[in-house]
Amino acid sequence: MKKQIIGAFASVLVMTIVMSSMQTIDAISYTGHDGSLSKDLQKTLVKPYGNKKDYWSYIVMLCPTTHNMAVAEVILKSDSDKVVLGVNKVVRQGECSHYGAVMKAKDGKTLGAELVTKGEAVEKMIQILKDSQNMSSIQRDNMMSEFIRLYIVTGFLPRS
């Protein structure tokens, strides 16, 4: 019985080490609420949503071409709306993943997206911890709500 428990624990430990090494990548920023997208993000669907004025069905596709990407969030933006999608997923090189929402926008050409990698999210969390000592209580509350959102998405709690 002890050998089975030790074997199971060793297997879990090895898998944890392997999976954690797969998710460490360089932080790469992709922005574009003006309608521009990076080489890894592509618009796959932009069309008016039903009979509603100023609403658009919007879907983007992420296809990493050079390396695996550990994605924390995809932020869909327009000239009048912003939707944050918590992803927490590693998209492998050569595979694709789709993200979308119904967005409010005056024109479909203003729809864009921002990709937040896990590395960027962790860096932002560390920066929040460092800066929180010099903030007012209202600013600290706002930043801590962002910290908690990033913690939920990444599952990582950095130490200051």
Find out whether 78 and 104 touch, Cβ atoms under 8 Å: yes
The residue count of the chain comes to: 160
Domain that holds residue 101: 2-154
> Could you give the percent of the chain with pLDDT greater than 90?
33
Per-residue pLDDT tens over the stretch 11-25:
655 566 555 544 433
Per-residue pLDDT tens over the stretch 64-113:
888 999 999 999 988 888 899 999 999 999 899 999 999 999 888 889 88
In a domain, 121, yes or no: yes
In a domain, 159, yes or no: no
In a domain, 37, yes or no: yes
Domain count, the chain: 1
Q: How many other β-carbons are positioned within 10 Å of the β-carbon of residue 134?
A: 8
In a domain, 128, yes or no: yes
Backbone angles phi, psi at 61, to 5 degrees: -125, 135
